[in-house]
Structure 1
Amino acid sequence: MTVSVTAHFRIAWRAFKTHRRVFIVSMLVLFASWASLELCVGTLHRFGVTLNVLLHVAFLWLFSGLMVGVHGMALDAVDGRVPRLSRLTASLERGPAWLLAFCVYLLSVIGGLLLLVVPGVYVAARYALFGPVIATRPATGIEALRSAGALSHGRRWAMCRFVLAALALNVAGAALLGLGLVISFPVSLLAASSLFCTLQHAPVASSAARTDGASEPIRPGCP
């Protein structure tokens, strides 16, 4: 099956334009969680290292759970369902799995880049879709990485192009004083969700059976 990276980013852009308010608000919530951590650390630093560590652990748990929620919202959007902010906190219990997968993924990518660059790019591409896996079903971090690797099997070049395109988009967003990330980051997640749905080969429920006011799927194949 041919994977068109450009097509997935076009789908992502259409989905973002349709639901831009909910995704911009979700990005602001993520930023607010980080800002709250910094405020608490700055205010309570005199109470010692233990409290500082506890605050960071609480932040990582919350942020990871919110990331699972954003992935779920992205999957809803590309499937034609209406992404709702309530989804943002609906899967907080999956946050630890996302955090573990992210840490293993990040360390593996960094290790590969330090070795010969190419291994890092390979790891980044092969396991990039662990987020949608966790948003779709309960899974441990390692199981999510394995599932992501299985989905990308035999499609290494398409996945490399996708990861590089997403990286370039977010670098451009960050270059705009970081403000562009409010758009580039959700668009990247939407594109990843579209790609994930394509690789899943999952049927989409008939629009006639929908009762949530959703539109026709922006792209077919989301679970």
Structure 2
Amino acid sequence: MASHLDLEEQEQLDQLKAFWKSYGNLITTVITLGLLAFAGWNGWNWWQREQAVKAGAMFEELDRAAQAGDVDKVGRAFSDLKERHPGTSYAAQGALLTAKLQQDKGQSEPARAALSWAVEKASEAEYRDIARLRLAALQMDAKQYDEAAKTLDGVKGADFAALVADRRGDLALLQGKPDAAKAEFLKAYKGLDKGLDYRRLVEAKLATLGVAAPEDAASGVAR
């Protein structure tokens, strides 16, 4: 019996050796690649977290400077943030915050530049659309009406449709097109949620054009 078992074990060992001789290198390669991929994935996640922490710290510095009204320091902080961490959400938020302070301080051209950067480089579509809405308003202030229209064309998020219509109404008024302005303001009014204060602003715009806001306007969503 022992001899029989020994023969079976030897046969199994010989089969294992033959299998390993044929496929051993391939198995080793697959395992090695799997381990490398796992290590790379962990390394990438660590690097991403590290970049987010650094970007967050830089944004906090920018935010503190903005609260202090130090527009020069804000400009420098944003320049560093977009250079070192352009793909983070902090960079997009930094662009919006920088542009707001610059505009408040009468620095319209740098504000437009900051928003233009966000339009082109922000990693999230929502931030790009917000930047387009704000940039279009600044372009209208600068009488860059064609540029403003093109900027508004780029807003694709459904949540911003009512705000785009409101901007288009403003643009139409500036271009001497009251009928087009009425249509856009009505579209904006119908798309805005009933509880928003902004809706009353659009209602006031309609009133100045002699249009009563419809009472049965459908409630929409806006940010």
Q: TM-score, normalised by structure 2?
A: 0.24
Q: TM-score, normalised by structure 1?
A: 0.24
Q: Which has the higher contact order (CA 8 A, sep 6+)?
A: 1
